[in-house]
Structure 1
Amino acid sequence: MNPPIIVVTGMPFEARIAKGDGVRVVCAQNATLAAELEAVIASEGARGLVSFGTAGGLIPGVKPGQWVIAHKVLDMPQQARESVTSIPWAEALRRAIPAALRADLAGVTAPVVTAQDKAALFRESGAAAADMESHIVARVAQAHGLPFVVARVVIDPAERSLPPAALAGMRSDGSTDILGVLRSLAGNPLQLPALLRVGQDAGRAKKAMQYGRQIVALKLGEGFGAKAAGI
């Protein structure tokens, strides 16, 4: 049996979208992701890694639902160390999703919450978006000599700060804490319009991911993991 392609997500809703025949999904938060990936590779092997899910926008004007296919992953915790994704894999996805941005992505250890912090990270990195898993995927892939690719959808635009309720509603495992949202809203009801916008943005991102997952699945089914990568 061929080893699987491992699809990495950070949040349960991303994992639900990513699941399907022919792939092994690992859903874990930043702190535990490397260990969980290593365990799966040790037990099942891997043909390559795919970082799939959402990302925060850093380029002004990029709207929620925009696909970003990473050229390089900038590991910000390791002084912006650069990791180039598999060019054949990334180009195959870019051709399949023509509207996708082919750009760099910044890997961070915590959400980039405010518009000011997003602007500062963009100035520092030049990246189109940021997420909390792709730099770890890059580290593990390089340690094992595996190809990897990053396909992420912008969920919150660069110009918009996240309201406190959006963060209060996220548990440590990435699942949603409704009571946390309600408590935050009770303390500051004025953030409700901003929270509703976050919900609308998330809806657009999810639709884009569901569409893109089918494209990725087709590529995987065509031997994307072996033929396109030359392995």
Structure 2
Amino acid sequence: MTTARPTRPSKISSAPFAVFVPTRAEMKPITTALQSTRQSASRSDSMIRIAVGDRVLLLARTGVGPDHAEAAARRLFEETPIAAAVSLGVAGGLSPQAQTGDLIVGDRVILRRSSGQVLDREKGVRLESFPCDSRLQDTATTVLRRWGSRHHLGPILTVDRIVLTEEKHRLAVESGAIALDMESAAIASAASARSIPFLAVRGVLDTVDEDLAMGFDQFLDGRGEPQPLLLIRYLIGHPFTVPHMVGLGLRTKAVCARLGRLLQELSTSLS
């Protein structure tokens, strides 16, 4: 495993925060929580600009997966100066302590690709580690402690495909991570290349002993965006999965609403 140079506590400038969220289902409750502050907002198909106090937030929808996330981050970093980059969304638990609805504040993120340059020849995977910014971490955990909100500080593993329970347990041992997603470490890689402070905060959607009941990869288009019509057709043919899907939707909405409120606190605390 290669590890990027640890970041020092950063001075957060007055430039915009770049906030990366994978899907519309995750983005909507986050922006709803922010817009409840009655601040100005504007949007395009994949970008929402929201002013919270003196801080401008640029919320970019990346699509699912590390390749889409890294490409979206690099594009945004090339277009405008950025004070800090934040990865928000849902995650799968890798630790028994990480229960549904808990927030995971990353102290580092680990990128695990099953393709590309092989750095671990025995396991045939590429592993890179990126530290999260200590000031952003401290601010996030301070807010969550003040709220009395269940949260954990630890490593987040980024993978390039959806994994099932058996593999979750193996990845937990292999990486030491307490949660996994499909975007954060790829965004951290792009941020590290430009020395932009980075933080990942993810909400646990499914625990280490829980499967998502289906491979969501089959419903993604070439941009990594879920295709609702394909999912609806699947549900019509597999009605027994509908209650589970409804439950996942409610969990996603609840945890992302909390992420939106946390983002508001971060942006005002660091202004």
Q: Same fold (TM over 0.5)?
A: yes
Structure 2, unmatched stretches of 5+, are: 1-12, 32-49, 114-118, 120-125
CA distance in 1, matches of 2:215, 2:57: 34
Given the alignment of the two structures, is residue 147 of structure 1 paired with residue 194 of structure 2, yes or no? no
Residue of structure 1 equivalent to 2:141: 94
Query: Quick check: 1:70–1:105 contact (8 Å CA) kept in 2?
Result: yes
Q: Secondary structure at the match of 2:15?
A: coil
- Identify the range of structure 1 (174-183 vs 87-96) with the bigger mean alpha-carbon deviation: 174-183
Bigger fraction of residues in helix: 1
Distance 1:34 1:137 in 2: 5
Residues 69, 197 of structure 1: alpha-carbon distance in 2 compared, 3 angstrom cutoff:
same
**Correspondent of 2:251 among 204, 209, 212:** 204
Task: Please say if 1:25 is aligned against 2:72.
Answer: no
**Residue matched to 1:34:** 70
What amino acid maps onto 2:22 in structure 1?
A: G
Q: For 1:155, give the aligned amino acid.
A: L
SS of the residue corresponding to residue 102 of structure 1 reads strand
Aligned residue for 1:68, secondary structure, equals strand
Q: 1:177 aligns with which of 228, 244, 265?
A: 228
Shift of 1:133: 0.9
Matched, 1:43 2:79: yes
After TM superposition, the structure 1 = structure 2 runs for residues 95-114 of structure 1, keeping only pairs within 5 Å, are 95-98=142-145, 99-112=150-163, 114=164
Deviates more, 1:66-75 or 1:165-174: 165-174
The offset of 1:163, in angstroms, is: 1.9
Alpha-carbon distance change, 116 to 181 in structure 1, aligned in 2, over 3 angstroms:
farther
TM-score, normalised by the number of residues in structure 2: 0.73
Match of 2:264 in 1: 217
- Identical amino acids, percent of aligned pairs: 18
In the TM superposition, what is the alpha-carbon distance from 1:80 to its structure 2 partner? 2.8
Q: What does residue 117 of structure 1 align with? A: 167
Q: Which runs of 5+ in 1 are unaligned?
A: 225-231
Matching residue of 1:228: none
Give the alignment's Cα RMSD to 1 decimal. Answer: 2.3
Contact 1:170–1:177 under 8 Å retained in 2: no
Q: Which amino acid is the alignment partner of residue 156 of structure 2?
A: L
> What is the SS of the residue equivalent to 2:78?
helix
Q: Give me the whole-angstrom Cα distance separating, in 2, the residues matched to 1:3 and 1:46.
A: 5
Counterpart residue number, 1:130: 180
1:204: Cα distance to partner?
Answer: 2.2
Give CA-to-partner distance per residue, 1:108-145, whole Å, 9 cap, x none.
11122x11111111111121111111111110111001
Question: Could you tell which deviates more after superposition, 156-165 or 166-175?
Answer: 166-175
**Offset, 1:34:** 2.3
**Equivalent position amino acid for 2:225 in 1:** G
Contact 1:64 1:201 in 2 (8 A): no
> Counterparts of 1:140 and 1:209 in 2: how far apart (Å)?
24
2:23 alignment counterpart: 11
